[in-house]
Structure 1
Amino acid sequence: MKTPLLHTIVGIALLSGLSGCVTIPEAEYADFKPLPRDQRVIQEVKLTWEVRPDASAVCSQKLAAAGRPVGGMAGTPVACASWTRATGVCTIVTSANPNHVVLGHELRHCFEGHFH
């Protein structure tokens, strides 16, 4: 049963953008309203999940390459998502032990792009 669910989750996300998430603000624990299907960046996502010991460094490099701010007041990213709208592919990069909030947050980027 876990495999179909994982494939469904993994089958959801990569665009032509990148988001790296640094900390988990209290607002992340609140419910949110998903965008309607026709307003999503990708409607049907093909998801891959890279679990890496160097996730923070990889995400920092990807953010810098995409011209997105890294470090400073934002801090070091704990995870990131990159996507390609044309192919519907999204890749989430995390360390070995992300919590459900981090993973869910990155998955939302796969569907909705840069929402924060």
Structure 2
Amino acid sequence: MKTSRIFWPLRLLTAGACVIVTAGCSSLPMEEYAQFSPAPSSKRIMNQVKISWEVRDDVADFCAKAKGMGKEQAFLTPPVACAIWHVPLKECTVVTGSSTSHVALGHEVRHCFEGHFH
């Protein structure tokens, strides 16, 4: 037991390094990895939704256009994924590149339920 207490900081540091190494190629800010509280059901744009997942090679360009980003903003902070929702049909399409992360996918799924939350 004493050994495991001594080495827990090392284990935490190693786990953190693995996350940084695997996410190093994405442009997701660190706050994306923080815990959050889901919006209450009454505050969501949809509670039941049909979700589709579209994988595109041009994800940055496609999502920039879908979000209405200007060329300069899209160049400086290219989106790694996006969600396009249609409330009346209760449908949402998550768009990612061929290489993505669980964090990016989960972030976009949250948009499907909560709409614009940031």
Q: Which one has more relative contact order, counting CA pairs under 8 Å at least 6 apart?
A: 1
Moved over 4 A (4+): 68-71
* 1:28-67 pair list within 5 angstroms: 28-64=32-68
* 1:2-21 pair list within 5 angstroms: none
* TM-score of the superposed pair, with normalisation by structure 2: 0.71
* TM-score of the superposed pair, with normalisation by structure 1: 0.72
1:89 is aligned, of 85, 91, 109, to 91
Q: Which has the higher helix share?
A: 2
- Aligned AA for 1:55? V
Structure 2 stretches lacking a partner, 5+ long = 1-25
Question: Whose Rg is larger?
Answer: 2
How many residue pairs were aligned?
92
Identity over aligned pairs, percent: 45
Structure 1 stretches lacking a partner, 5+ long = 1-21
